[in-house]
Amino acid sequence: MMVAGEGQNPGVKDLMKLAEHADLSQKEATGRIERVQDSLSEWNALAKEFGVMPDNVNRIAGKIN
C-alpha cells in the first residue's frame, strides 16, 4: 500500500501529506497519529487482555515495533 508515494516504510511526514489531501488540519492529523501511536504502544497488554495467542502477539508486535 502506498501512502503519499511511499510504499516501503511510510512515516509521519508521509501521513501528514496524506492528511493534507484529505482536508485534515495539521492539528487534527497530528492528534490522530498520536492516538494510533499510543494504541500501538499498548499492543502487548491489550492483546493479552483479549486473549490473542502469544505467537500472534509476537508476530504482530514484530511488524508494528
C-alpha cell of 37?
501511536
Residue 2 included in any domain:
no
- Print the domain residue range for 16: 12-64
Q: How far is it, in rounded angstroms, from Cα 40 to Cα 28?
A: 19
List, for residues 1-54, the tens digit of each pLDDT value. 556 665 667 889 989 999 999 999 999 999 999 999 999 999 999 999 999 999
How many domains, in total, are found in the chain?
Answer: 1
Residue 6 lies in a domain: no
- Using an 8 Å Cβ cutoff, are 35 and 17 in contact? no
User: What pLDDT, on the 0 to 100 scale, is given for residue 3?
Assistant: 64
